[in-house]
Amino acid sequence: MAVETPKRASPFSRWIGAARRWSEKFDDSAPGRFWNHLSTADFINSSFAFAALAVLSAFPFLAVSSAAIGGDFRTAIAARMGLNVEATHDVDRLIAGGNQSVATLTWVSAIVLVAGAVGMASTLQGWYHRIYERTPPKGLLRHFAYQLAGVIVFTLYISAEVWIFDKVRPAGGEVLVFLLTFVLAVLFWWTAAYMLLYRRVPLRDLLPAGVATGACITGLGIVSKLVFSGEITSGQKSYGPAGVVLALISFLVGFGVCLHLGAVFGRMWNEWRAER
């Protein structure tokens, strides 16, 4: 009686099985869980939407509010991105200073500007609630009060950051600027996460998210100083104002990714502590 020999798996089947085992192992690892949290938050599409909304809503509001208190929002862009003189000039030609807008501002346009800025705050609230799996409390007025307060505090944060950078750059150079960028970003985004989550997550549990967000934003600032000045000037020469807009949107997409990375890291840090 003949004995049947077992069939050997084909190389393709073995490769598929190995890939499946590797995928399952990766999903159970810390990097795999980190990536799954980011994917659940849809961080790429959310960051692109954030960049578009910032250009359409946040930039006009910040330009007008900065001009109203005697500042220039274009200076904040140049300081935040670490632009050189030529790139700063290209941004200045693209964006108006806001002084004329303040002089001709009507109550209708003021409501539109504030509504756009509040929409940005609402978008960030949606991110943090999705990442931390929290349900926002009810109450339209409560939501609006938190969002409006966040807009005001963010405007003051940007203005104070530019003022501090101007004071310390002659004394400490770019190293001190990046150090202060990290410290200020940690303090702001730590407390911002606490308020965006309606103070329903303890402040101490959000410190890791603040530190990670500050580190990511500082890293983005370093990359921006090395890369984006050239991107803006080359974009201006190749495509005109559209090239400058594309460079600004690229920076804002990176900023949105930084916020996602920091928030997800903070959540995973808390989960790791709870497991231990």
User: What per-residue confidence (pLDDT) applies to 14?
Assistant: 65
Q: Is residue 19 part of a domain?
A: no
Q: Is residue 33 part of a domain?
A: no
User: What per-residue confidence (pLDDT) applies to 159?
Assistant: 84
User: What per-residue confidence (pLDDT) applies to 165?
Assistant: 84
Q: Is residue 25 part of a domain?
A: no
Q: Is residue 178 part of a domain?
A: yes
Q: Is residue 1 part of a domain?
A: no
User: What per-residue confidence (pLDDT) applies to 47?
Assistant: 93
Which range of residues forms the domain containing residue 72? Answer: 44-275
Q: Is residue 17 part of a domain?
A: no
Is 75 in contact with 85 (CB distance < 8 Å)?
no
User: What per-residue confidence (pLDDT) applies to 79?
Assistant: 85
How confident is the prediction along the chain (276 residues), in pLDDT tens digits per residue? 455 555 565 666 666 766 666 666 766 778 888 888 888 888 999 999 999 888 888 888 888 887 777 777 888 888 888 888 999 999 888 877 655 556 666 777 778 888 888 888 999 999 999 999 998 888 888 889 999 898 889 988 988 888 888 888 877 778 888 999 999 999 999 999 999 999 999 999 999 999 999 999 999 999 999 999 999 999 999 888 889 999 999 999 999 999 999 999 999 999 888 887
Q: Is residue 143 part of a domain?
A: yes
As a whole number of angstroms, the distance between CA 140 and CA 93 comes to 40
Total domains present in the chain: 1
Q: Is residue 9 part of a domain?
A: no
- Give this prediction's pTM: 0.86
